[in-house]
Structures are given as C-alpha cells and as structure tokens.
Structure 1
Amino acid sequence: MKETFRSIEQSNPSYGIRNLHFVTIKSPQLGTRGDICIYIPENCPMDVPVVILLHGVYGSAWSWPLSSGVHEQVDQAIKEGIIKPLILVMPSDGLWGDGSGYVKHQEQDFEKWIVEDVIAVARQLAPDQISQASKFFIAGLSMGGYGAMRIGARHPDVFTSFAGLSSITSIDEFAHFVEEDLDSYQMDTELSLIDSLIANKERLPYFRFDCGKDDLLLAYNQKLHSKLLEANIPHDYEEFEGGHSWDYWKNNIMKTILFFNLRF
C-alpha cells in the first residue's frame, strides 16, 4: 500500500496499554502533526468495521480511552460475543484553541483531517484488518457530537451511520465552552446540525443521538429532535440520567456501539 504521510510515529506496544496504539502523523490538512489513538482487538478479522470517536473541547486523542475506558468496554463486549469485532480510531480535533469544532478554519481544514487523513492513516496502519469492504462509523461527545453528526451527514458515502452524545448543535453554542471568537468557526457552509441534516436529507443513513436530563445542552438537543421530526428525517433520540460529564459518556457510549453493531 502506498504510504500517504511524510512521517508517522507509533508507540511501542511493549510499553503501551494492551491493544491500544498511540500514533502521531504529519497531516496535510492540518499542516502540523496530529495525534490518534487506535484500539485493535486481538485476532482482529479482515474487513472489520471502524468506529471513529471524536472528543469534546479541551480534550485530545487520549480523552476517549483514558477518560471512559471505551476500549476496555468494547474489548469485553467482543469477548462476550455481545458485539462483533471492531476497530476504534480516536483522533485529536487538531488541537486548535479550546476546540476546533471539526470544521474548516481559515488555514486548516479540521473536517478533512477527520474524513481524509484519519481514515487514510487507519488504513495504512491496519492493512490486514481494514479493507475496502470495511464500514466506517463516526460518533462523538459534546463538540465531538457536533463534529460527528455534521461530518456524518455531509459524507454519507463514507460513513454507514453516525451518532452524538450531549451534542453541541450550532456554532452559537460553542460560546458555552470556548474563549475563541466564534467567527473563526464560520469558514464553511451548513454549520448548524439541522442545516447539515436537511441539506443531505435524501442520502442520510439512519442515525442516533442522546443527551443527559441534567445537561446544559439538553434543550438544544430536544429542539434538534423536534426539527428532525418536522422534517421527516428518521432517527433515534433518547434521554438518560446524567449531565455534561464523563460519568454520562462512559456509561452511555456502548448504546451507540450497540446501535452501530446492528449495521456492521
């Protein structure tokens, strides 16, 4: 397979966490280095599905595995036969400001970082497991939920399904979390989730999102759900106990993994 990136630095598995790999690449879309954590289960088969998980503001590539233990939850579910084998790919958002939003900025394209570079490096690092037949899924929390749902809606040719947990639903809501000028996020089109979903309505896969009943973003998620119903866009929406915290995300991420598993 032709190498895609000028440089790739990989962790030594002898010193790492079992089945969890840490990778740094020089990204064409970022113009800088980008970090990715990848979980590959033991005895991973060919044509395995891939789930990309996007973190929220202030986080990085290590956030999902080391704040929620998602790789351990998935590993156990695979061993128990609850889900089919899958690879988790957990990239940084590009490490811009408090959070890049996974959108295009003036000089960096954080959406393409995910859709092009992250997928390409996953294929390059796991050529014996990820094939052209492998299906890709994307999910995230908070800012990552915004990124996953927007990117999933805009690239239905790439992603079989997508999901959000406690998702930001529009650029204005970033003001709750970041100190950067919101104008920095507005270099592209379809910036609200409802606009992205309606614009791609005819091609959307079935998707889901959920939110905690004590989450500061609950009203926004409820509004998105209502607008999707008005637009006759099929989806799953659920609310569970909890707020905008890792306790909620670590306790509910497997609901999304199980949802994806039905589509593997």
Structure 2
Amino acid sequence: MIKRFTLGSLFLIGFSIALYASKVDTVSVFSPSMQKGIKTVVILPDTYSQETRFPVLYLLHGYSDNYSGWVTKVPAVKELADQHGMIIICPDGAFGSWYFDSPVDPSFRFETFVSKELVEWVDRNYMTIAKREGRAITGLSMGGHGGLFLGFRHQDIFGVCGSMSGGVDIRPFPNNWDLAKRLGSQRENPENWEKYTVMNQLHLLAPNSTRIIIDCGTDDFFYDVNLRLHQELLYRNIPHDFITRPGAHNWDYWKNAVKYQALFFSNYFDAVKASPAPSGSRHRERR
C-alpha cells in the first residue's frame, strides 16, 4: 500500500521532526554521598555527536516538583538545546532539598550531588566541555536558590549561573517549603539559616569572577528578596543582569524566562569560545 502525503502534511511532518530533533533520556545517576540513584533528564541537541564537545546547562526544578518538571511543563526546553547547541541536564532535587547539604538530615546532600557527583558523571558519559567555561546552572524558585547557591559556592565548576523567581533569601520564610526539615527550626538553629541562604554567599564573589543573571516577576512573592539581592550586588560592584517584568510565580512566567536565560548562557559560551584562554588559569579541566 502506497501512502500519499499532501504538501501541507509533509510540511507538518517535517516541522514536527525539526521541533523534536533533540534526544531526551531519563537516566539514574548513582550518588555515593546519598547511596542511591537520582533520576535525571538528559537533553542532547540535534547536532550532538562524538566529534565535538558541547556546553552543559544544569536546569533545576522547584519545590514539590521533580526531574521531569521542565520537559513536561515547558516542552520548548528541548528546542533550546537545539537552538543553542547545548546539553541540558535536569536532575531530581527531591521534595524540598533546596540544593544544599542538609546540616540536620544526612540523607539530603544535593550540593554534593549536583556540583560534584552529577557533573563528574555527565562529563564521563557525554561529549562535554569539561571545564567551568562550559557549564551553566540555573533553576526556578527552589531551583533558583540552587542555581545561585551552587554557582556562587562552586565557581571552579560553573562559569555562569542564574535564577528564575528564586528563593534567594530563605530567612523571611521560616515556616515554609520544608526548610525547617532541612535546616532545623530558625529559632533553635539560626546559624544554619544564615549559612545556607544565597544572600550570605556574596562574600565569595569578586567583580567578574562569575557571570550572573537574575529574573523575577513584580507580582512574585519572592520579588522583594530578589530586589534586595540585586541592590546588594550593585553595592558590592558585582556585575550581573537583573530582569524584572509583570508576572507571578507560575509556569507562564518561567516558560518565558528560561528563553532569556538560555540566550544569556549561550552568549557566554560563545564569548568564551571566541576568546583565547588566559595563561596560567587557576581553573583546571575536570575529567
């Protein structure tokens, strides 16, 4: 039997193939620090091959979501991998991990997992640019906290970092989002709440030590803490991009914001590729 296609149907088929040319896998990455496998989505661009190396974007989900949140709720992230020629990694951050190593619950070691174990696994298994200049990290809400927290604390691993609607200062929210389960109550453990908030990592930054992009809507309940972070970075003369526009804490905002963040990271990768590596660099490739 011969199947016949109209010109219109052929166009739609071709468009569909182009739209989903990237390859999406769900893998389990073993975490030695937590002694379990962590599910992770891997998006490979349509140009992926064994002949070249690709930059990597680590894209973190928010509270109460999981590793599949980005690809199911914003399918266009697959197109971003194709458009910008980057690998996108979406790890599971569990229910309320906040992407740090919990000082009160040893079963939550997501700073170690994402910044060390996952990065090393990805570099072993894919054709990556295995150095800080080839890695970006960002996320939404809890993942926005994770993007900046890990980006600031591990500048030898990530050359550029970002946040979308991030909980960048957790201290005003002592009763929310399982934070007390990960840090202990604020009243009894105030030092943990000071140590594990993005706002208190700024001493780790020097002008231009890392590239930073922050995005938050004016109707978001995290807008005030994001504005304060922006003002503190300005006070410290830390260059960064700060984007704000009407919008709330929802997927309508994030599906738009992630496009700007991917472009920001892509421009960073392109600029690094175009400039010669400085002699005597302190940052060494990790393989």
Q: Residue 40 in 1 paired to residue 40 in 2?
A: no
**Aligned residue pairs, count:** 238
Shift of 1:200: 3.1
Percent identity between the two aligned chains? 26
Tell me the TM-score normalized by structure 1. 0.82
Alignment check: 8 A CA contact 2:44 2:87 kept: yes
Alignment check: 8 A CA contact 2:29 2:118 kept: no
1:27-71 per-residue CA deviation (whole Å, 9 max, x = no partner) reads 112222211000001231522100000111001110111111243
Shift of 1:168: 0.4
- Give the counterpart letter for 1:61 in structure 2: Y
Q: How many angstroms apart in 2 are the aligned matches of 1:183 and 1:91?
A: 19
Give the structure 1 partner of residue 276 of structure 2: none
Give the structure 2 partner of residue 30 of structure 1: 34
Alignment check: 8 A CA contact 2:183 2:193 kept: no
Give the structure 2 partner of residue 120 of structure 1: 120
- Give the counterpart letter for 1:53 in structure 2: L
1:224-260 per-residue CA deviation (whole Å, 9 max, x = no partner) reads 1111111111111110221001111011101001001
The structure whose RCO (Cα within 8 Å, separation 6+) is larger is: 1
Shift of 1:174: 4.9
Q: Residue 72 in 1 paired to residue 70 in 2?
A: no
Tell me the TM-score normalized by structure 2. 0.76
Shift of 1:124: 2.7
Alignment check: 8 A CA contact 1:197 1:204 kept: no
- Give the counterpart letter for 2:123 in structure 1: R
- Give the counterpart letter for 1:155 in structure 2: H
Give the structure 1 partner of residue 98 of structure 2: 101
Q: How many angstroms apart in 2 are the aligned matches of 1:176 and 1:67?
A: 27
Q: How many angstroms apart in 1 are the aligned matches of 2:181 and 2:169?
A: 11
Q: How many angstroms apart in 2 are the aligned matches of 1:226 and 1:180?
A: 25
From the superposition, tell whether residues 89 and 158 of structure 1 become closer, same or farther in structure 2 (CA, over 3 Å): same
Q: How many angstroms apart in 1 are the aligned matches of 2:263 and 2:175?
A: 30
Alignment check: 8 A CA contact 1:104 1:188 kept: no
User: If you compute each CA radius of gyration, which structure gives the higher value, 1 or 2?
Assistant: 2
Q: Flag structure 2 segments of 5+ consecutive residues without an equivalent.
A: 1-19, 185-190, 270-287
CA RMSD of aligned residues (A): 2.4
Secondary structure in 2 matching 1:240: coil
Give the structure 2 partner of residue 157 of structure 1: 156
